[in-house]
Amino acid sequence: MVSRICIFFAGTISVVLSVVGGDPLVPALCIFGDSVVDVGNNNNLLTLIKADFLPYGRDYITHAPTGRFCNGKLAIDFIADYLGFSSYPPAYLSKEATGVLSGVNLASAASGYYETTAQLYRAVTLTQQLQNYKEWQSKVVKMVGKSKGDAIFSGGIHLLSAGSSDFIQNYYINPLLNTVYSPEQFSHLLLRSYSSFIQNLYKLGARRIGVTSLPPVGCLPAAITLFGGGSNECVARLNKDAVLFNQKLNSASENLKASLFGLKLVVFDIYQPLLDMITNPGDSGLFEARRACCGTGTVETSILCNSRSLGTCSNATGYVFWDGFHPSEAANEILAQALLQQGFELIS
């Protein structure tokens, strides 16, 4: 534990020293994916999967809901801080994204590698997120010219978080999928989509890409409630599926790096850091890993986590989970630290 903390602080110091001059370490930060990284794109959609109301955002800088599925900052917000950005990439579908050169957030809660997952919940598919990114690129080129624009795209960091919604909000509850495909076969479908996404992003000039692994999905409070059969423990078969997917994700990523010249592609392991927090929350300064802060800590998320949710905790700083699916700000900060350790290749 001590050695890990030392590594983190050494890395953090080097980053802080690098941004003393005021410029971020990279010219842009662009985000794709699902609710773990959505900062408000779903606010502008006809979907029930939203977080633009209290108590979401109650511990954020403005103490107001933004569309983040958290009580405060997301892991990507902390990463933007570490990289030296003075503001966070705005939701692309918001007016705040107008004229932004330093990156945008294209993520949409309930999106995933499997296009139908997003369509079921009226979220923005990854295909459309990529199209929105291409549209943003065109705006950047109009503002600064092609040469400077290409430098922003190739030098910027692109982060992708997806897969959890595909399993939890689609595969496990959809007999049209889980009776036709085994978890391994479904993972193969998702990874085909992932490889295609990375190849298309590469064609658009991106060279620094990070993708998060699946978390221990069987330990999410909602997953334990829905699939745990009355147990209060992590659902082993779901975690096994996540581990298998992550192994395939690593393999697919190695193949992509071998075939795409100049691509820096990092698979960020969030499975183990989050599992460590859940298994031994005290080691991270937390105390509650089963119950989420919002409501009863079971299936509450989005409209089920609202200002009238019974049992919502008054102080989320000791909780691993904010709602039934999403980490608290305290957990997100720890996850961001773990990602920082793993991602130095993207800023070197």
Active site residue 323: yes
Paired strand residues for 160: 32, 211
Cα dihedral 43, 307, 111, 48, rounded to 10, equals -70
| Cα separation, 230 vs 228, whole angstroms | 6
Active site residue 348: no
Active site residue 309: no
| Three-class secondary structure of residue 158 per DSSP | strand
Catalytic residue (choose from 164, 187, 326, 328): 326
Catalytic residue (choose from 59, 102, 323, 328): 323
Catalytic residue (choose from 34, 35, 38, 193): 35
| Cα separation, 314 vs 148, whole angstroms | 48
Residues recognised as catalytic: 35, 323, 326
